[in-house]
Amino acid sequence: MLNVLGSVAQFEREMMLERQREGIQKAKKAGKYRGRAPTAQRRKAEAQELLRGGMSKRDIAATLGISERSVHRIT
C-alpha cells in the first residue's frame, strides 16, 4: 500500500516538473524569462581594483554588498 502511494507521489512530481519546464520554455520564447542577473560579475572590475589597493577580501565583500565567496570567485 505504501509503495503505491509513493509511486503516485513520484509520478505527480515528475508531471509537475515537466509542466514547469514547459512553462519556462514558453516564457523564454516570449522574452519574459531571463533568470537572475549575476551581481558579482558586474562588480568584478571594482573588486579587483580594491584588491590591488590593498583591501582585504572580507572588506571588499562588505563594501560591494556581495558575499565573501563571490569575491574569492571573481578575484
| Whether residue 69 sits in one domain with residue 55 | yes
Q: What is the pLDDT of residue 69?
A: 95
Count of domains for the chain:
2
Cβ(47)–Cβ(64) below 8 Å = yes
Q: Which domain holds residue 8?
A: 1-35
1 and 21 fall within a common domain: yes
- Per-residue pLDDT at 1: 85
The whole-number pLDDT of residue 2 equals 86
Query: What's at 17, amino acid-wise?
Result: L
Query: Digits of tens for pLDDT over the chain (75 positions)?
Result: 889 999 999 999 999 999 999 999 999 999 998 888 888 889 999 999 999 999 999 999 999 999 999 999 998
Please tell me whether the overall predicted TM-score, pTM, comes out greater than 0.85 for this model.
Answer: no
Closest C-alpha among 42, 41, 46, 38 to residue 63 = 46
